């Protein structure tokens, strides 16, 4: 009797803890010093008062709807080594199995008057186009990627991309 009970509890814990995932895909050139995970902000709107650069796309899935805080802490832990100051969650929802999912971008704020420490190679490659402030003006549906619920994932549309 005890063996069956312990086996059932072990399987339940394995299923509950083994499903959730966070996927981070680096999109920025160069490297930035890591930030403190406790200082990484989780945002659902684009900060209008601060300039920033996009560091990575972020996707997370298979979280219990009651585990939103754990999901946010996992996002912070995965994005802080890239030097992120915040994660903007552009889309989120609940999949057909009842799990929470979200996708967005990890960003690093630009501080006027300061220079971030980046790799020497990136310092040589810097141009006006890559150092200017990029403003997100909306979201585009990416037909090549789907979320856990089967819906298409949204990616940011920048102001300078609309002019092309």
Q: What is the mean pLDDT of the chain?
A: 76
3-state secondary structure 30-69: CCCCCCCHHHCEEECCCCCCCCEEEEEEEEEEEECCCCHH
- 80 pLDDT band, cuts 50/70/90, is very high
Q: State residue 157's pLDDT score.
A: 74
* pLDDT value at 1 more than 90: no
Q: State residue 148's pLDDT score.
A: 59
User: Does pTM top 0.75 for this prediction?
Assistant: no
* pLDDT value at 82 more than 70: yes
Q: Which residues pair with 21 in a beta bridge?
A: 61
CA distance 110 to 120: 18
Q: State residue 39's pLDDT score.
A: 93
3-state secondary structure of 2: helix
* Across 65-85, average pLDDT: 93
Question: Tokens 């406790």 sit at which residue?
Answer: 38
| Weakest mean pLDDT among 55-64, 84-93, 108-117 | 108-117
| Weakest mean pLDDT among 5-9, 68-72, 136-140 | 5-9
In degrees rounded to 5, what are phi and psi of residue 25? Answer: -120, 110
Q: State residue 144's pLDDT score.
A: 66
- pLDDT, one tens digit per residue, over 35-60 is 999 999 999 999 888 889 999 999 99
- pLDDT, one tens digit per residue, over 143-162 is 666 665 667 777 777 776 65
- 141 pLDDT band, cuts 50/70/90, is confident
Give CA separation, 117 vs 8, 20, 89, 121, in Å. Answer: 51, 33, 26, 12
């Amino acid at each position: 009797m005890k063996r069956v009970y312990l086996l059932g509890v072990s399987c339940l814990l394995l299923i509950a803890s083994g499903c959730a995932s966070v996927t981070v895909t680096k999109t920025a050139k160069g490297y930035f010093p890591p930030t403190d995970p406790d200082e990484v902000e989780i945002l659902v709107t684009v900060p209008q008062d601060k300039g920033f650069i996009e560091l990575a796309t972020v996707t997370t899935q298979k979280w219990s709807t009651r585990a939103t805080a754990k999901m946010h802490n996992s996002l912070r832990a995965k994005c802080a080594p890239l030097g992120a100051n915040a994660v903007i969650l552009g889309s989120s929802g609940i999949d057909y199995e009842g799990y929470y999912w979200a996708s967005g971008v990890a960003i690093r704020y630009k501080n006027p008057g300061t220079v971030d420490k980046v790799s020497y190679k990136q310092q040589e490659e810097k141009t006006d186009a890559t150092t200017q402030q990029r403003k997100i003006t909306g979201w585009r549906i990416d037909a090549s990627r789907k979320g856990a619920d089967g819906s298409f994932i949204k990616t940011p549309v920048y102001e300078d991309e609309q002019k092309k």
